[in-house]
Structure 1
Amino acid sequence: MPNHPATSLLATEKLEQQVDPRRWYALAVILLPILLNSLNTYMIQVALPSIQKSLNASFSDAQLIVTGFSLSLAVALIVSGKLGDVFGRKRLLLIGVSGFTLMAMLGGLTSNPTLLIVIRIVQGLAAALIQPQVLSMMQINFLPREKGLVFSIYGALMGFGFAFGLILGGILVNWNMFDLGWRTVFFFNVPFGILVLLCLPLLPESHGRRTQSIDWIGTVLIMSGLFLLVYPLSEGQKQGWPNWIWGCLILSLLFLFAFIAVELRKQKRGEAPLVDLTIFKQRLFGVGMASVVLIYLSMFSFFFILTYYLQFGLHFDAQATSLAFLPLGGGFFLTSLLSSRIVSRWGMVVLRIGALVTGICCFLFIVLLHIDAIHLLHMQYIVLLLVYGLGLGLVTTPLTRVVLGTVPMKDAGTGSGLFNTFMYLANSLGVALIGILFAASLRQSLAIAVLSDYVRAFSASLAACGGLALAAFVCLCFLSNRTEKLTESQ
């Protein structure tokens, strides 16, 4: 039976009285750590080939500099969301930003690739304390009608961090201030991190369910399972796929199955599991998370291989690489900013179009490569990358809102942690798997491969990226337009 209009009006007025009138100022503060993390991620994306050359690192080491960060971030995200619910989101933000900034300083000082990988792993753990707290605050502190705008601002900021991070990363490496080269990409984060730390005390503290316990057994199982899955994939190509690699992969499956069994058993006993697996019974959440994995696998893989094709295949410097990424970032920023309005009018069809456009662009890229594999700063590539970015923004930004809109308020930290775990796990798996395909298709080491080798490897990798995006499109076709109405009503 529908609610009486007067009752609904009173409920709305009561809700408006409960929210903090300073929430928009707080939003500006809590988004600063997100910008810090986003800038860091994409600046290092451009600087990665320079880091590899400077430290005489292998292709596998370069992969681990990326996957080590994203994997540690992914495996810690679920529990860090719950830690924020229990111990306070502001406190976790302060700890996370402090650790992130310290690791950035140490990363700029190291000259050993193995040590840099370790530093990036610890930095990922620090970053894991940041993301769920921000998304939880966004879910809790704003009215239902405001969340569309809030998540659009969040997406636009991610788009800005992506576009500006790629440009700034190339400029800093090429600028070579004090002969520091790629190290300036790490040192840049230090004053920015200190600025964020000065602003965070202005936030009020917030908690979720403070009485809930932490499932440490589940945490150890899922962390072990994911580590044993991603690390061997990154090392396998370098080591020649010895038996221990396959042993680790088998162990990873055993750990992950054990994790599922433990979580289901805890839930059956009425105990608090690390992940409420029944959430995947919700059609929206299950299909949405499958779409998240597929589209982010495609996206992060594309970024990684494009960077290596430009800097190793075409011998672009870091600044020219930044310019090549600029139209992509600009398109992503534009549609991220407008996505809330577009989706409110047209519904889920917008996400489907975004995924479809992204996939088609990957295959068109292959066609252009076989026409002109050298001039990636010419108009045809600029337009294609712009359209790719537009499509990417249409699917990724509203997808965040759609998926998180299904999570109950009391479990906002856990839900946001789960969402981000899947996203960053897609980053780790994407770089590891596309690295295997790229290296196998290259058939030569990076140093001695010629342009035709890079075109072959890049084309094979692009086909995989396009296929993943089209698979995301298929998943999104199972969501009806009522999905968007559901998120607006919460």
Structure 2
Amino acid sequence: MSFTDTSRPPSQGDRRRWFALAIVMTAAFMDLVDVTIVNIALPSLRADEGATLSQIQWITAGYALAFAAGLITGGRLGDIHGRKRVFLLGMGGFTIASVLCGLAVNPEMLVASRILQGAMASLMVPQVLSIVHATFPAHERGRVFGLFGAVVGLGAVSGPLLGALLTQGDLFGLGWRSIFLINLPIGLAGLILGRAYITESRAPRALRLDLVGVALVTLGLLMLVYPLTRGHELGWPLWGHLSMAGSLVVLAVLVAYERRKSARDGSPLIELSLFRVNSFAAGIAVQAVFGIVMGIFFLVWTLYLQTGLGWTPLRAGLTGVPFSLAVSVAAAVSVQRLVPRFGRKVLQAGALAMAAGVLLYLWAADRYGLDITEWQMMPGLVVMGAGMGLIVAPLTDAILSGVPREHAGAASGLISTMQQTGNALGLGLVSVVFFGVIGEPVAPERIGAAYAEGFRHSLGWVAGGMVAIFLLMFVLPRRPSHDTEEATVPEPRTAGEPEPDLVG
């Protein structure tokens, strides 16, 4: 297929759009599975390769940081050069980086390969939402995002189980390496089918990549996340505090520059006019906090189960199945049945349910201590999973509901950037809320008690984050609106012309 401009979705009779949806959903599934697979394999990887605690954090945080730093750029590159083209480039690069991870000869090479993998994912993932946004008409997107929520749940189920089976099964003697090499056949199939079925789309007017904006956003995120991740290990040096404070200055300069860039030539990296859309501004704040609490929970939970309680990867992976199934079921029901009737209240109910599930899990962990079983964990995990399912699928639709098609890539990049930045911050905060509590080194006879104490402390932070999300959701629209979207794609404007108001 040729790389042609399209500003309207294919006709409803075009069945290729459903094949295209399956392909981009597979990419999203591959990215999600990769994260959850890595989490479940971290203790085995640490034991086999002798990785330090800092390197363990960087195997996850390095990916998240590279992902976050490149997402806005990836979304804008899709707008400029074509979403199909950039999606396929990202998928190819992600597949190659996965192979490098699987062939890593030491922890340093693995961390570097994970950073490359995150950078390639930042090209691939923003195109998923923007291809959906540009391919499907507004009235079909609720159904599509319901499917997306189900895929999220399926990925959450498959990742831990697949990681446990591959790690503990030692497939072909590869051990933990197979968790990365499994991406090779999936990536190759995605590339072949993607070329055949995805329709190209890009912004209807010519845009240019804002290289200064790219440099500023990357520098600001690095200055914030790097010292947070390394702080505990290095004893919280002065330069780390100065770097985190300086990141706020860099981000403020970024906003000022993007405002001038938009007025001058209309090709900013970050489309600031998007923040006038109330659903978008509030939604990405929710995404950021949600990313923080999930980044904390999943890494700490894995360490607690396998290192603190001494469970095998397979047992730990199976323990997460009730949570993941609850996410998948609740995500499908929320979009199809609940949100059309109750609107924003569904998302807020999800936030409160997650907080209640965390507190229920905290109570069980405190009562049963190191003798806790999977069955005693299950009630808290099921309630948490149901709450997450009520949030993940409708939140995406709520955020994008008022965004013009022209800025679909930029908006998708910002959404994913805030989520992944939050995730990287959460992984960095593990140094504070978990390792800062247990202290290092820990005597062998105290590992179980220390990790259990750190886990309980971390759950308190997660519950607090969910309450904050509940309050932020009051700013979201009562119901996602698609009324104006089809008609609010702004006309090209000349330099110096004011930005259009996207709210009205």
Short-chain TM bin: over 0.9
Partner of 2:46: 52
Alignment of 1:202-281 (within 5 A): 202=196, 203-209=198-204, 211-281=206-276
1:207 is aligned with what amino acid?
Answer: R
Partner of 2:80: 86
Alignment of 1:74-113 (within 5 A): 74-113=68-107
- Secondary structure of the 1:211 match is coil
The structural deviation recorded for 1:450 is: 2.8
CA distance in 1, matches of 2:69, 2:287: 16
Deviations 1:335-368 (A, max 9, x none): 1222212211221111000001111221222211
The structural deviation recorded for 1:486 is: 4.7
CA distance in 2, matches of 1:15, 1:206: 9
The structural deviation recorded for 1:300 is: 2.4
Contact 1:312 1:446 in 2 (8 A): no
Of residues 17-26 and 467-476 in structure 1, the stretch that sits farther from structure 2 once superposed is 17-26
- Secondary structure of the 1:260 match is helix
1:170 equivalent to 2:149? Answer no
Normalising to structure 1: TM-score of the pair? 0.93
CA distance in 2, matches of 1:388, 1:74: 25
CA distance in 2, matches of 1:122, 1:473: 35
452, 456, 461: which is aligned to 2:453?
456
The structural deviation recorded for 1:372 is: 0.5
User: Unaligned stretches of 5+ in structure 1?
Assistant: 1-13
Contact 1:148 1:488 in 2 (8 A): no
CA distance in 1, matches of 2:51, 2:93: 25
Q: CA RMSD in A?
A: 1.9
Alignment of 1:86-165 (within 5 A): 86-165=80-159
1:63 equivalent to 2:63? Answer no
Q: State, as a whole percentage, how many aligned pairs show the same letter.
A: 34
The structural deviation recorded for 1:485 is: 4.1
Partner of 2:304: 309
Contact 2:400 2:411 in 1 (8 A): yes
Alignment of 1:308-347 (within 5 A): 308-341=303-336, 342-347=338-343
Contact 1:69 1:121 in 2 (8 A): yes
288, 292, 305: which is aligned to 1:293?
288
Normalising to structure 2: TM-score of the pair? 0.90
Deviations 1:48-70 (A, max 9, x none): 12112222111111111111111
1:183 equivalent to 2:177? Answer yes
The structural deviation recorded for 1:270 is: 4.8
Of residues 444-453 and 269-278 in structure 1, the stretch that sits farther from structure 2 once superposed is 444-453
Q: Label 1:137 to 1:225 Cα distance change in 2 as closer, same or farther (>3 A).
A: same
Q: Label 1:195 to 1:402 Cα distance change in 2 as closer, same or farther (>3 A).
A: same
Of residues 412-421 and 445-454 in structure 1, the stretch that sits farther from structure 2 once superposed is 445-454
Deviations 1:415-451 (A, max 9, x none): 1111010111111011111332101111233564432
Contact 1:232 1:248 in 2 (8 A): yes
Contact 1:376 1:382 in 2 (8 A): no
Aligned residues: 476
Partner of 1:423: 419
Deviations 1:138-174 (A, max 9, x none): 1111122110011111121121111111111011100
CA distance in 2, matches of 1:87, 1:281: 26
Contact 1:87 1:210 in 2 (8 A): no
Q: Label 1:209 to 1:361 Cα distance change in 2 as closer, same or farther (>3 A).
A: same
The structural deviation recorded for 1:25 is: 2.1
CA distance in 1, matches of 2:342, 2:42: 39
The structural deviation recorded for 1:21 is: 4.1
Contact 2:288 2:422 in 1 (8 A): yes
Contact 1:81 1:129 in 2 (8 A): yes
Runs of 4+ deviating beyond 6 Å: none
1:462 is aligned with what amino acid?
Answer: L
1:369 is aligned with what amino acid?
Answer: A
Q: Label 1:149 to 1:377 Cα distance change in 2 as closer, same or farther (>3 A).
A: farther
Of residues 264-273 and 91-100 in structure 1, the stretch that sits farther from structure 2 once superposed is 264-273
Contact 2:401 2:481 in 1 (8 A): no
- Secondary structure of the 1:83 match is helix
